Chain A
Amino acid sequence: MTSIPLIGEAIAVAADAYGARGLAGAKIGVVTFPGTLDDRDAARAVRLAGGTAVPLWHADSELGDVDAVIIPGGFSYGDYLRAGAISRFAPLMSKIIDAANSDAKLPVLGICNGFQILTESHLLPGSMIKNDHLKFICRDQTLRVENANTAWTVDYTDGQEIIVPLKNQDGQYIADEKTLDALEAEGRVVFRYVGFNPNGSRRDIAGISNAAGNVVGLMPHPEHAVETGFGPESLNGEPRDTDGLGFFTSVLTKIVGGDK
């Protein structure tokens, strides 16, 4: 794995390491649906990681030349039917599904409502139902990185524990036992809740990937843990507010550096 510095020198170093294109040349699309809330946050995370964020509109019929796509959190269409159930039919989603399944294996990250849209789109298996305690929950959540080999996790190490905010109403991940066993066996459980399961998710699963590892979805919000002073605090005051930045540097590493 090639190491990429975090904020600051990232652009210059990357330009050196990867030739003329540089990190800033890596374009990450951020999709906005009606009711999307965390699109500006996701775009900021891409910028802070050194890449270029490209706004994408759900009704567009072309993906353009983006190198990866983030489907951010929110309540698309109010979650009035079933979270993500309407958004999956957006014109842009069919392009994203095709690109994710193509040989080029477009990296796709679904966060919270984005994760729900990815399961509704069948890019990822399983589904999310209402939290077991039936309330919205917002907390700083510890996660264990179970697979540091996906497009969105290469800058972490296997077993590393990170703290990122979690906030959802329908965050309980469920799937049948056979699917869960397969996910475990294939190393596709990418994140697990540690210490406290905030929503009753099966086997403490917080995030999963597709078989190829280019599509990752999770309920917690790494884009809210990318900037000093604006992310989670751990209980003893030790700063943990940029633990989520690795998602975005990971995909930039992947894009600019080619396959690991």
Chain B
Amino acid sequence: MTTETTKKFNIDTVEHAAKTPDTELPWAELGLKQNEFDEIVKVLGRRPTGAELAMYSVMWSEHCSYKSSKNHLRQFGEKVTEEMKKDMLVGIGENAGVTNLGDGWAVTFKIESHNSPSFVEPYQGAATGIGGIVRDIISMGARPVAVMDPLRFGAIDHPDTARVMHGAVAGIGGYGNCLGLPNIGGEMVFDSVYQGNPLVNALAVGVMRHEDIRLANASGKGNKVVLFGARTGGDGIGGASVLASESFDDTKPSKRPAVQVGDPFAEKVLIECCLELFKGSLVEGIQDLGAAGISCATSELASNGDGGMQVELTSVLLRDPTLTPGEILMSESQERMMAVVTPENIEAFEAVMDKWAVEYSWLGEVTDTGRLIITWEGEVIVDVDPRTVAHDGPVYDRPFARPEWQDSVQANSFTGSVEDAGRPSAPTELAAAVTELVASPNMCSKSWITKQYDRYVGGNTAMAFPDDAGVVRVDEETGLGVALATDANGRYTYLEPYQGAQLALAEAYRNVATSGAVPMAVSDCLNFGSPEDPDVMWQLAEAIRGLSDACMELGIPVTGGNVSLYNQTGTTPIHPSPVVAVLGKLDDVARRTPSGWREDGQAIYLLGTTAAELDGSEWSNLRGHLGGLPPKVDLAAERALGEILINASRDGMVDAAHDLSEGGLAAALVESSLRYGVGARIALEELMERDGVDLFTALFSESQARAIVSVPRSEEVRFKDMCTARGFAHLRIGVVDAAGGKLEINGVDELSLDALREAHEGTLPKYFG
């Protein structure tokens, strides 16, 4: 091991701080408010040292402390039934929740935001977003097996969108591909509300045997604390406190230096190295270093364990020897882990490090003093109760109120509006409308993005985009596997936040069930504007209330997630965007249901009923309208539909299934046809009569709890009987036509698959090359 030459600073020791109570400290520059600084002084009984101030400022930031959302997030822990607890092995609060898959297998998954860094420096911001979430998964003792990335960018034709889009997609690919993790799905939405504040969320999923579950705590007096992986550098200093708690405007200097830089090779080696440590049971507790770096890792490990830790900061291996103690504590350099190792395992631990050529340094040990003590060449620069740093940060009951404008927005329905006046009805108009829809920025093919991601690596990807959910095999012997989908609709949530959040959950749930998997758990990434704006705070409160109520009704728990606030440009917030990920289980991934039909002559059924629900729809978006109320939520119907789709998959009654969501039936029919290049003949007259809607509404409405399936002729009776027995609306709307090369819909001019494909796949290359 290398020994750094330590340099001489004017070290602000605890002793010095006690003697100099009146020293001015830059707490405001570090993102703290006056009342928060006063609280720190109260907790310590003296002014903090520079190093302590650095620690508190990052750990008490919005990003790390959830100070504005904590009071509301409690509902995820409170609204929990026995049914929801039955498969939960580790709940909210750890690095990621863990769900029992059966056969001794467990799965852990989590979604997180990396929004602000991805706007400042799209490539590194997005790349390190993947890196951070993957380390959360490793910290639980799991092998990461897949990633997904929900993305939201500004208007497709805005000059800055290409910069962010190219950078973020290349960053996710560049990092994820190099880690050997298949990217199995995600989302892509363009909307000008995200122009100055794109959303780059990242999800990772990992699997482990039950006995391998690891938690972040430092127990056992005398056990050693070790930092390993990349060296600590100047990147990302203050990232958590400064970036995540401030919105962007033009008056401040560029934030570039606060964005971390990723090294995917170091992370890949770290993954294999950690898995080898777990295999040999060589660590007692482990924690990744993400936001707030060493401040977070030491205070969380210590407060979750026996409550004490002693660390010598000059033992940290540095990339930049000029870093000050405060900077070392705050650095967000990537690809680092901290672990607690018993003295007898030190040698074996070092052997694993040497095998993978990973650098490490022993920083100190676990104590039973209840204090986190950090020294610099033996002089005490931090002496705190770790709980006050990690868990007892400020909690705000931010004022919130239903915005004054909400009523007028909800009263402005698309149906009958000026924008709705030219509603297509003639066969040529409807054909043009379908083509326009599937070529539109939000509904077009995402393959320009997804072909830059490796979906094959690992050899366990049973399904990926553009199917409804990504499916990964966990057990090669039995075929046991998991399905994952993420969804959010900022427009729905803007119109009605309680319902909008529920609709996001309903869609992700439906996507997972459509693939044939049984939904089991939820992770959410709540992307909102400033909590200091009562309008935004109301959106957040309502979304959390809606989501937690819906989880209880669907019987699946939230096992973890992330809140990202201050997503706004100036005083204009983004649409409230609760991104919801649902994880499901397949006993045998061979049974998963793809979204495209293949076999000529199979019957196509529409499950569910259609109402005139165009408010907030993609069609209204294309006509520049946003108003009214989003589609009605019916969670009992979602659950019933889910059961039908899961049973149909298990019993081989359907060969294809595709959920209806944004873009309605029109989008689903086109996507199912283009999936394998196999068309269909569709007649909607019976549907129009049954549900009392016109052809345009039948095609473009976004009513929920619907899906289309293709049923082999031999299974038709059994399938219909099952739907009838469950009292679920089902209607035969057409037949698969393998020979025609077209999608024929009665009352709509013929749509050739070639032309549809050209329209669907041409959009992203046209804008992004």
- Interfacial residues, chain A to chain B (CB-CB below 8 A): 34-35, 37-38, 40-41, 44, 74-75, 77-80, 135-139, 165, 167, 169, 221, 223-224, 226-227, 229-230, 233, 235-237
Docked Cα-Cα span, A181 to B589, in Å, equals 47
Docked Cα-Cα span, A233 to B264, in Å, equals 30
Contact, CB under 8 Å: B177 / A136: yes
Q: In the assembled complex, which residues on chain A have CB atoms less than 8 Å from the CB atom of B454?
A: 136, 138, 167
Whole-angstrom distance between the Cβ of A162 and the nearest chain B Cβ: 15
B456's contact among A35, A221, A229, A235, by CB below 8 Å, is which? A221
Report the stretch among B155-163, B431-439, B457-465, B607-615 that lies at the interface.
B457-465
Interface assignment of B178: CB less than 8 Å from any CB of chain A = yes
Q: In the assembled complex, which residues on chain A have CB atoms less than 8 Å from the CB atom of B178?
A: 35, 37, 75, 78-79
Interface assignment of B453: CB less than 8 Å from any CB of chain A = yes
Interface string of B437-462 (1 = CB under 8 A from A): 00000000000001111111111111
Interface string of B665-679 (1 = CB under 8 A from A): 000000000001110
Docked Cα-Cα span, A38 to B476, in Å, equals 16
Number of A-B contacts (CB under 8 A): 93
Contact, CB under 8 Å: B268 / A35: yes
Closest 6 CB pairs between A and B?
Answer: A78-B265, A37-B180, A237-B598, A237-B676, A224-B456, A41-B459
Known contacts A41-B457, A136-B170; 7 additional CB pairs below 8 A are A34-B269, A37-B180, A40-B459, A135-B452, A137-B451, A229-B589, A230-B461
Contact, CB under 8 Å: B452 / A137: yes
Contact, CB under 8 Å: B451 / A139: yes
Contact, CB under 8 Å: A34 / B265: yes
Interface assignment of B590: CB less than 8 Å from any CB of chain A = yes
Q: In the assembled complex, which residues on chain A have CB atoms less than 8 Å from the CB atom of B458?
A: 40-41
Q: Which of B265, B357, B589 has the most CB of A within 10 A?
A: B265
Contact, CB under 8 Å: B459 / A44: yes
Interface assignment of B167: CB less than 8 Å from any CB of chain A = no
Contact, CB under 8 Å: A138 / B180: no
Contact, CB under 8 Å: A138 / B265: no
Q: In the assembled complex, which residues on chain B have CB atoms less than 8 Å from the CB atom of A137?
A: 451-452
Contact, CB under 8 Å: B459 / A136: no
Docked Cα-Cα span, A233 to B173, in Å, equals 22
Docked Cα-Cα span, A178 to B454, in Å, equals 34
Contact, CB under 8 Å: A38 / B180: yes
Interface assignment of B263: CB less than 8 Å from any CB of chain A = yes
Given A44-B459, A78-B263, A80-B265, also A138-B676 (CB < 8 A) = no
Docked Cα-Cα span, A85 to B356, in Å, equals 19
Contact, CB under 8 Å: A224 / B177: no
Interface assignment of B293: CB less than 8 Å from any CB of chain A = no
Q: In the assembled complex, which residues on chain A have CB atoms less than 8 Å from the CB atom of B266?
A: 78
Q: Which residue of B lies closest to A73 (CB)?
A: B457
Whole-angstrom distance between the Cβ of A94 and the nearest chain B Cβ: 19
Q: Which residue of B lies closest to A41 (CB)?
A: B459
Number of interface residues of B (CB under 8 A): 37
Docked Cα-Cα span, A75 to B268, in Å, equals 10
B455's contact among A41, A44, A138, A227, by CB below 8 Å, is which? A138
Q: In the assembled complex, which residues on chain B have CB atoms less than 8 Å from the CB atom of A35?
A: 178, 265, 268-269
Q: In the assembled complex, which residues on chain A have CB atoms less than 8 Å from the CB atom of B473?
A: 230
Q: Which residue of B lies closest to A36 (CB)?
A: B180
Contact, CB under 8 Å: A138 / B263: no
Contact, CB under 8 Å: A224 / B459: yes
A38's contact among B179, B357, B457, by CB below 8 Å, is which? B457
- Interfacial residues, chain B to chain A (CB-CB below 8 A): 170, 173-174, 177-180, 263-266, 268-269, 356-357, 450-462, 473, 476, 589-590, 596, 598, 676-678
Q: In the assembled complex, which residues on chain A have CB atoms less than 8 Å from the CB atom of B590?
A: 229
Q: In the assembled complex, which residues on chain A have CB atoms less than 8 Å from the CB atom of B461?
A: 230
A-B contact pairs, 24 of them (CB 8 A): A34-B356, A37-B180, A38-B180, A41-B459, A44-B459, A44-B476, A75-B265, A78-B178, A78-B264, A79-B265, A80-B265, A136-B173, A136-B177, A136-B452, A138-B450, A138-B452, A138-B456, A165-B456, A169-B174, A226-B459, A229-B590, A230-B473, A233-B676, A237-B598
Docked Cα-Cα span, A189 to B458, in Å, equals 28
Whole-angstrom distance between the Cβ of A93 and the nearest chain B Cβ: 17
Q: Which residue of B lies closest to A47 (CB)?
A: B476
Given A35-B268, A74-B180, A167-B177, also A237-B456 (CB < 8 A) = no
Contact, CB under 8 Å: A237 / B678: yes
Contact, CB under 8 Å: A75 / B170: no
Q: In the assembled complex, which residues on chain A have CB atoms less than 8 Å from the CB atom of B173?
A: 135-136
Q: Which residue of B lies closest to A165 (CB)?
A: B456
Docked Cα-Cα span, A40 to B108, in Å, equals 21
Q: Which of A40, A135, A139, A227 has the most CB of B within 10 A?
A: A135
Q: In the assembled complex, which residues on chain A have CB atoms less than 8 Å from the CB atom of B170?
A: 135-136
Q: In the assembled complex, which residues on chain A have CB atoms less than 8 Å from the CB atom of B356?
A: 34
Given A37-B268, A75-B265, A235-B676, also A136-B174 (CB < 8 A) = yes
Q: In the assembled complex, which residues on chain B have CB atoms less than 8 Å from the CB atom of A169?
A: 174, 177
Q: Which residue of B lies closest to A57 (CB)?
A: B355
Whole-angstrom distance between the Cβ of A127 and the nearest chain B Cβ: 20
Q: In the assembled complex, which residues on chain B have CB atoms less than 8 Å from the CB atom of A235?
A: 676-677
Docked Cα-Cα span, A221 to B173, in Å, equals 18
B676's contact among A37, A79, A236, by CB below 8 Å, is which? A236
Contact, CB under 8 Å: A37 / B452: no
Docked Cα-Cα span, A75 to B589, in Å, equals 29
Whole-angstrom distance between the Cβ of A56 and the nearest chain B Cβ: 14
Q: Which of B264, B459, B460 has the most CB of A within 10 A?
A: B459
Docked Cα-Cα span, A41 to B264, in Å, equals 20
Whole-angstrom distance between the Cβ of A50 and the nearest chain B Cβ: 16
Docked Cα-Cα span, A138 to B676, in Å, equals 18
Docked Cα-Cα span, A221 to B589, in Å, equals 22
Given A34-B356, A167-B177, also A230-B268 (CB < 8 A) = no
B451's contact among A37, A138, A221, by CB below 8 Å, is which? A138
Q: In the assembled complex, which residues on chain A have CB atoms less than 8 Å from the CB atom of B357?
A: 34
Q: Which residue of A lies closest to B591 (CB)?
A: A229
Whole-angstrom distance between the Cβ of A58 and the nearest chain B Cβ: 11
Q: Which residue of A lies closest to B590 (CB)?
A: A229
Whole-angstrom distance between the Cβ of B462 and the nearest chain A Cβ: 6
Q: In the assembled complex, which residues on chain A have CB atoms less than 8 Å from the CB atom of B265?
A: 34-35, 75, 77-80
Docked Cα-Cα span, A40 to B458, in Å, equals 7
Q: In the assembled complex, which residues on chain A have CB atoms less than 8 Å from the CB atom of B460?
A: 230
Docked Cα-Cα span, A19 to B190, in Å, equals 64
Given A75-B265, A138-B453, A139-B451, also A236-B677 (CB < 8 A) = yes
Docked Cα-Cα span, A229 to B458, in Å, equals 14
Whole-angstrom distance between the Cβ of B266 and the nearest chain A Cβ: 8
Whole-angstrom distance between the Cβ of A137 and the nearest chain B Cβ: 6
Whole-angstrom distance between the Cβ of A156 and the nearest chain B Cβ: 21
Contact, CB under 8 Å: A230 / B459: yes
Q: In the assembled complex, which residues on chain A have CB atoms less than 8 Å from the CB atom of B269?
A: 34-35
Whole-angstrom distance between the Cβ of A60 and the nearest chain B Cβ: 12
Q: Which of A35, A80, A137 has the most CB of B within 10 A?
A: A35
Docked Cα-Cα span, A151 to B237, in Å, equals 54
Q: In the assembled complex, which residues on chain A have CB atoms less than 8 Å from the CB atom of B174?
A: 136, 169
Q: In the assembled complex, which residues on chain B have CB atoms less than 8 Å from the CB atom of A233?
A: 676
Contact, CB under 8 Å: A37 / B264: no
Whole-angstrom distance between the Cβ of A133 and the nearest chain B Cβ: 9
Docked Cα-Cα span, A152 to B461, in Å, equals 25
Q: Which residue of A lies closest to B182 (CB)?
A: A138
Docked Cα-Cα span, A80 to B459, in Å, equals 25
Docked Cα-Cα span, A169 to B356, in Å, equals 25
Docked Cα-Cα span, A52 to B170, in Å, equals 37
Docked Cα-Cα span, A230 to B476, in Å, equals 12
Q: In the assembled complex, which residues on chain B have CB atoms less than 8 Å from the CB atom of A44?
A: 459, 476
Whole-angstrom distance between the Cβ of B749 and the nearest chain A Cβ: 25
Docked Cα-Cα span, A80 to B598, in Å, equals 43
Docked Cα-Cα span, A138 to B170, in Å, equals 13
Docked Cα-Cα span, A38 to B459, in Å, equals 8
Contact, CB under 8 Å: A230 / B598: no
Whole-angstrom distance between the Cβ of A15 and the nearest chain B Cβ: 23
Q: In the assembled complex, which residues on chain B have CB atoms less than 8 Å from the CB atom of A237?
A: 596, 598, 676-678
Docked Cα-Cα span, A224 to B264, in Å, equals 22
